[in-house]
Amino acid sequence: MKIAEYAGHDATGLAELVAQKQVTPKELAQTAAQAIAAANPKVNAVVELYQDRIEGLDEKSLPDGPFKGVPFLIKDIGQHLDGRKFECGSRLMQGFVVEGDSHVGKLFKQAGLNIIGRSNAPEYSVAGTTENALYGNTSTPWREGYCAGGSTGGGAAAVASGMVPMAHGSDIGGSIRIPASFCGGVGLKPSRGRVSAGPRVEEGGWGLAMNLGQTKTIRDTAALLDAMAKPQVGDPFWIPKPEESYLSLIKRQPGKLKIAWSVDPVMDAPVDKEVAAAVERTAKLLQSHGHEVWEEAPEFDGEEASRKMLDVWFFGFAENLDAVGAKLGRKVGPDTLEPITLKIYEHSKGITPKRFLESHAAINTLRRKLGKLMAKCDVWISPTTAQVAEPNGLYNLGREGVSAEEYIVTADRPLQFTFQHNVMGTPAISLPLALHSNGLPIGVQLGANPAQEHILLQLAALLEQEMPWKDRVPPLHVTRGV
């Protein structure tokens, strides 16, 4: 299979070719490796290839799932694959090997995905940009040297550049949606509890984190959610799910919905005028389809939320780093952690259980304030990111002379619309619905009430038809010779 043909399909399309015996999983894996070799030198999205899943692939090892034989990348965050390296983009964890699959890893495999390698991520998923001292900086395929977003920047950039049709993503404060926005892809964060975080932990990130993927089409997103939304033994709770598959539900539209939209900043940072215009244009299009649409912003202090989230995100962080360092014979310090990560490590030491519980209570208060808007509407539309991608180096973890709190508040400003949905546990999706006049993609975010992913996917399928993005090809794409 030629690279151009490979990159022209989404994951569902490639799986159909495998099912029809027009191509073998091994041929797909070999083509994916060629695509990565072509684009990765400039994009730097992939940090490791698994040759046993490419040249050494045993096709009999692939289950008959919906994505049988489709090349896929696992994010370098989360212990998901038995016997594979997992380094969190950190020199402290260099060479760490996972023992046992997570439920996420197991479900990816059961879907038939051929996991051929590992994608880049910022150190410990801390930043909204994928830059690290271990593997270097990832670029959005739309402009070399510009931010791919984080923390799933490697996966999003790999998909947008045509290296793979789909990649793993995880999201504790926007880490699926932010890179989807900066790279011009599709990124859905499911509802809290939709995808199992087990068996090592009860809930990822104290309930704030969810796993799914980076895709380029809505049908891929829906089919992946069908494959991953399977409660596992011992999960703390199961949430409602439609009787029909998500893939079947996207073929028809929901009834009349109540849709609020806003572009008002929730932090001390402006929203780009073209980003705001894309949000308003999306709202008006949905209004033209008969939905009740109005402008309203939530009651939310983003800077206060960032400070409280710091104590929730990083409670126990220092103890965990000390433990993994001891296991690998390394000590936490400037030679093993980046400057900001080291500041967060020190900050974490001061987060007492009492302070953690107080911050958790404050997050609960914020969630209930946000819920007032969501109680009025079925969907809330906002920017995914307040700005389009900016040059790498502005928000990375290598900055000196900045406290943990100063960094989090500053770095969250371009990303100020995403972590509300982590606070609420609500599903949210970023769609590439516009291009900025500077040539960079604009992401528009749609959020719904808990367990209502199907509504988001139905609206997303409509927008995919009405505001299509499939023919947009970034400059750093495998079909352009990169």
Active site residues: 75, 151, 175
Do the strands 167-171 and 210-215 form a parallel or antiparallel pair, or are they unpaired? antiparallel
* Mutual angle of helices 218-228 and 103-110, in 10-degree steps: 120
Name, in order, each residue with C-beta under 8 angstroms of 316's C-beta and a sequence gap of 6 or more: 348
Which residues are CB-neighbours of 92 under 8 A, at least 6 positions away?
Answer: 321, 324, 325, 328, 330, 332, 336, 337
CB 158 within 8 A of CB 169: no
Q: Report the Cα 192 to chain-centroid distance in Å.
A: 14
> CA-CA distance, 361 to 374, in Å (whole number)?
20
DSSP assignment of 117-155: EEE---GGG-SSS-EETTTEEPBPTTSTTBB--SSSHHH
Q: Are 363 and 420 in contact (CB under 8 A)?
A: no
CA 438 to chain centre: 24
Q: Give the C-alpha separation, 352 to 350, whole Å.
A: 6
Helix, strand, or coil here: 10? coil
Residue labelled with tokens 């528009």: 444
The whole-angstrom separation of Cα 330 and Cα 322 is: 9
Exposure letters 292-305 (e unless 16+ CB within 10 A, then b): ebeeeebebebbeb
Of residues 267, 208, 263, 262, the one with CA closest to residue 414: 267
E strands within 387-440? 428-435
Three-state DSSP class for residue 168: strand
Q: At what angle do helices 404-412 and 339-349 cross, to 10 degrees?
A: 120
| β pairing state of 379-383 and 136-137 | unpaired
Distance CA 64, CA 56 (A): 19
| Rounded alpha-carbon distances, angstroms, from residue 90 to 135, 145, 179, 325 | 9, 21, 20, 11
**What is the identity of the amino acid at 332?**
V
Token reading at 463: 């927008």
In single-letter form, the type of residue at position 447 comes to G
Is omega for the bond preceding 242 within 30 degrees of 0, making it cis? Answer: no
